[in-house]
Amino acid sequence: MLNRSQRFGNLGEAVAVRHLEKMGYRILHRNYRTRLGEIDIIARDKDTLVFVEVKSRASSVFGGAKQAVTRAKQRQIWKNALYYLKTTHQMNAKARFDVVAVSSENQKTSVEVIKNAFEAAG
């Protein structure tokens, strides 16, 4: 059984998927898990493979969703993306890292897509 925070996170991911699809992204995977962790969404945006981190916030009290993608989290996403690229034989693919910030305050939901939010952390 999911707790309240997990349910809110899942809802935020569903909102992000719908928004990305409206923008023309083709969703390839949701919650792609490796032994190193998880990538929320893997999608294709035209000729680019996109690794997406979704951050959902019900309030800005503890900072916005964008600020929640720390350097350590970026490094973890990068390692998972590298694993994905290697295991799917796409090491030469054009790729980027996007962040989708889903905010829900006062019964109003907003979605912001930050393309190329961070660089690979080699």
CATH of the domain at 99: 3.40.1350.10
Q: If pLDDT is split at 50, 70 and 90, which confidence band does 109 have?
A: confident
Boundaries of domain holding 99? 4-118
What pLDDT is stored for residue 61 in this prediction? 57
State mean pLDDT over 65-91: 89
Split into its structural domains, the chain has a count of 1
Q: If pLDDT is split at 50, 70 and 90, which confidence band does 122 have?
A: low
Share of the chain above pLDDT 90, in %: 58
Q: Letter for the amino acid at 62?
A: F
What pLDDT is stored for residue 11 in this prediction? 80
What pLDDT is stored for residue 26 in this prediction? 98
Give pLDDT tens digits for 86-98: 999 999 999 999 9
